[in-house]
Amino acid sequence: MALVNRSLVTIDDLSNGEMEALFSLADEMSDSMGKQLGLCRGKVMASLFFEPSTRTRLSFETAIHRLGGSVVTAVDVKATSLAKGESIADMARVIGSYADIIVIRHPWEGAVKVVADYAGVPVINAGDGGHQHPTQTLLDLYTIKKARQTIKGLKIALWGDLKYGRTVHSLMFALAKLGADILFCPSPGLEVPQHIIDKLVTEYGGELEKYDAANSAVKKMPSTLDAIYITPGSPHQLAMMPNLSLQVELEKGVDALYVTRPQKERFAASKEGKESEERYPVVDKKLLKEKEFKKTLIMHPLPRVDELAYELDTDPRSMYFKQAALGVPVRMALIASLLGVKEISPAQEDSLPQTDYPVYQREYGVRCPNPRCVSVQETEIKYLKPEFKIVKSRPLTLRCAYCEHGFEPKYIASTEWHEGILAEKKYHSADSHWTRKIKPENLIIFDSESDAGAHGFKPSHYAKGEHETGDDRGKMSKEQ
């Protein structure tokens, strides 16, 4: 399928075949850069960077110029009407009427989805808070593929801030789709968020295995190694690897070590954040002397702080400056494809199944608990209603449609109040049998007891999560 007029908000917006086709187009453009100048003549790209950026912003702007297009830009929220209270949706509509394509970086997670929903032109996510950064992932994959010819079956170690690093969040999903094995090497306190682990396991068919710290073979790996994520060898099949084989796999070496800086701008002003910063691991020549890293590609999305030693810059394994350079042809290929001036032809392929989760959306009740989510930040804007996917019923688990943050709500109720008797307008614990009894279209979900009470609901016998008896089930089988 052609990419024309589509948006890239998360890496899941691209199939494996589409990513491969983009890489082929990037190769073609790299080999004949001067011949690309007329492709986007007359096209305008809006470059909206509301967080600091060097490589991403300049590579996108270089890309559109090399394609013969032009740029309009905004880099400071305070210099836009957003500072006056304008909604992101209104901004998107206006800029979509000026430009043919929008590239946006925003501190609020999920903000790019809102822009894509309202702009009317293709929108590219250049990083939305700690959520995702899909074009960085494209150039990361492109770098690995040029060096190793494939992604499938490679062993990729992700190092550092795996909690707030948006680059690694996108990369995890892409590596899983393409069949790589992922080793998590987080700094203490900056482990992969559980909702991301859950998605990797449930939707990508992966298997999570903890390492044995007492194992002598594993000890040679970084002391911060937390777990290994093993992707399926074929679609929909788990790779069943015995625990004892971990030591054998690790001894074979790591194909790429992807280092990330501590995302200090996203750390909470807390003791935990300070401790994480103080204990942040460093990649240097001493570490890379281990045999597991003999042929390892050393990667980093940049900028670096102190987590990657400058002594490695001349090491032939270091790829991070090449990564940055490859951002231009990759983004040229993406822009040209979305604008329809170049059409890619992905090969036919089997892909992971798209899970069709029930959607929950109400103007009142539960809200996303992520304080950086756009749906929380724009609470006063009436157009933006909280929206969630119901990804699990036991326990009841929601995933925000904007920032993809997953969580387990506390209380539920029904729009059908015990056959319409207002006095029986009750709420229940989300871990009671009512979660399974109430139809999705009748479901109401609350953050707290006070929230339920404010909407006229009273606690039922199951508000504290008591388990019902057989008699109780018989009496209430008709209640919704």
Greater model confidence, 154 or 44? 44
| Whether residues 421 and 314 fall in one domain | no
Give the model's pLDDT for residue 24: 95
375 Cβ partners below 8 Å, 6+ apart? 110, 367, 368, 384, 385, 386, 387, 400, 402, 403
SS3 of 60-91: the string is HHHHHHHCCCEEEEECCHHHCHHHHCCCHHHH
Of 307, 338, 369, the last residue of a domain is 338
In this structure, the number of other CB atoms found within 10 A of the CB of residue 6 comes to 17
* Long-range contacts, stretch 274-280, CB < 8 angstroms, 24+ apart: 275/188, 275/189, 276/161, 276/187, 276/188, 276/189, 276/190, 279/187, 279/188, 279/189, 280/160, 280/161, 280/187, 280/306, 280/307
Greater model confidence, 59 or 416? 59
At 397, the pLDDT band (50, 70, 90 cuts) reads: very high
Query: Residues 402-411, buried b or exposed e (16+ Cβ, 10 A)?
Result: bbbbbbebbb
Look at phi and psi of residue 346 and say left if phi exceeds 0, alpha if psi is from -120 to 50, else beta: beta
| Whether residues 334 and 376 fall in one domain | no
Does residue 3 fall inside a structural domain?
Answer: no
Q: pLDDT tens across 319-360, in order?
A: 989 999 999 999 999 999 999 999 888 876 655 556 789 999
Give the model's pLDDT for residue 399: 95
Q: Is the pLDDT of residue 79 over 60?
A: yes
Does residue 273 fall inside a structural domain?
Answer: yes
CB contact at 8 A, 49 and 72: no
pTM: 0.86
Q: Is the pLDDT of residue 18 over 60?
A: yes
| Whether residues 168 and 58 fall in one domain | no
Does residue 345 fall inside a structural domain?
Answer: no
**If DSSP codes are grouped into helix, strand and coil, which group holds residue 126?**
strand
| Whether residues 125 and 141 fall in one domain | no
Give the model's pLDDT for residue 101: 98
Q: Is the pLDDT of residue 236 over 50?
A: no
Greater model confidence, 226 or 175? 175
102 Cβ partners below 8 Å, 6+ apart? 45, 46, 48, 92, 95, 96, 115, 119, 121, 122, 123, 124
Does residue 346 fall inside a structural domain?
Answer: no
Q: Is the pLDDT of residue 175 over 70?
A: yes
Whole domain around residue 51: which residue ranges? 11-129+328-338
Give the model's pLDDT for residue 239: 33
CB contact at 8 A, 22 and 334: yes
Residue from 189, 372, 183, 169 nearest 281 by CA: 189
400: Cα separation from own chain's centroid: 12
Give the model's pLDDT for residue 207: 74
The pLDDT of 255-278, averaged and rounded, is 65
At 27, the pLDDT band (50, 70, 90 cuts) reads: very high
Does residue 352 fall inside a structural domain?
Answer: no
And the tokens for 214?
Answer: 């007492």
| Whether residues 424 and 411 fall in one domain | yes
Q: Is the pLDDT of residue 422 over 80?
A: no
In this structure, the number of other CB atoms found within 10 A of the CB of residue 452 comes to 25
Give the model's pLDDT for residue 472: 41
Helices 320-338 + 55-66 axis angle, to 10: 50
- The sign of the dihedral angle between the CA atoms of 126, 131, 134, 136 is positive
Give the model's pLDDT for residue 284: 81
| Whether residues 371 and 467 fall in one domain | yes
Does residue 480 fall inside a structural domain?
Answer: no
Of 264, 299, 324, the last residue of a domain is 324
Does residue 255 fall inside a structural domain?
Answer: yes
Q: How big is the CA angle at 261 (ends 260 and 267), to the nearest 5 degrees?
A: 120
CB contact at 8 A, 130 and 168: no
| Whether residues 309 and 401 fall in one domain | no
| Whether residues 75 and 194 fall in one domain | no
| Whether residues 277 and 364 fall in one domain | no
Q: pLDDT tens across 383-395, in order?
A: 788 899 999 888 8
Please give the share of the chain, as a percent, with pLDDT higher than 90.
44
At 450, the pLDDT band (50, 70, 90 cuts) reads: very high
| Whether residues 37 and 144 fall in one domain | no
The pLDDT of 355-374, averaged and rounded, is 90
Whole-angstrom distance, CA of residue 354 vs CA of residue 235: 12
Query: What is the total count of domains within the chain?
Result: 3
Whole-angstrom distance, CA of residue 427 vs CA of residue 461: 9
Q: Is the pLDDT of residue 441 over 70?
A: yes
Whole-angstrom distance, CA of residue 156 vs CA of residue 153: 9
CB contact at 8 A, 242 and 205: no
Q: Is the pLDDT of residue 217 over 80?
A: no
Q: Is the pLDDT of residue 69 over 50?
A: yes
Beta strands 411-414 and 406-407, pairing class = unpaired
Dihedral angle of Cα 370, 371, 374, 376, to the nearest 10 degrees:
100
At 2, the pLDDT band (50, 70, 90 cuts) reads: confident
| Whether residues 265 and 400 fall in one domain | no
Whole-angstrom distance, CA of residue 419 vs CA of residue 410: 24
Between the two ends of the chain, the Cα-to-Cα distance in Å is 43
Question: Looking at residue 370, what DSSP letter applies?
Answer: -
At 467, the pLDDT band (50, 70, 90 cuts) reads: very low
Q: Is the pLDDT of residue 198 over 50?
A: yes
Greater model confidence, 178 or 350? 178
At 427, the pLDDT band (50, 70, 90 cuts) reads: very high
Give the model's pLDDT for residue 294: 83
At 251, the pLDDT band (50, 70, 90 cuts) reads: low
Residue from 158, 161, 170, 210 nearest 190 by CA: 161
Give the model's pLDDT for residue 311: 86
Does residue 463 fall inside a structural domain?
Answer: yes
The chain-wide mean pLDDT, for the chain, equals 82
The pLDDT of 90-100, averaged and rounded, is 96
Q: Is the pLDDT of residue 86 over 90?
A: no
Q: What is the DSSP string of 405-463?
A: -EE--SEEEESS-TTT-GGG-EEEETTSTHHHHS-GGGEEEESSHHHHHHTT-EE-TTT
| Whether residues 123 and 229 fall in one domain | no
Greater model confidence, 239 or 372? 372
Q: Is the pLDDT of residue 238 over 50?
A: no
Provide the greatest CA pair distance for the chain: 78
Q: Which CATH number belongs to the domain containing residue 396 in this structure?
A: 2.30.30.20
And the tokens for 26?
Answer: 């990037």
Q: Is the pLDDT of residue 470 over 50?
A: no
Give the model's pLDDT for residue 308: 82
Q: Is the pLDDT of residue 449 over 60?
A: yes
Q: Which CATH number belongs to the domain containing residue 257 in this structure?
A: 3.40.50.1370
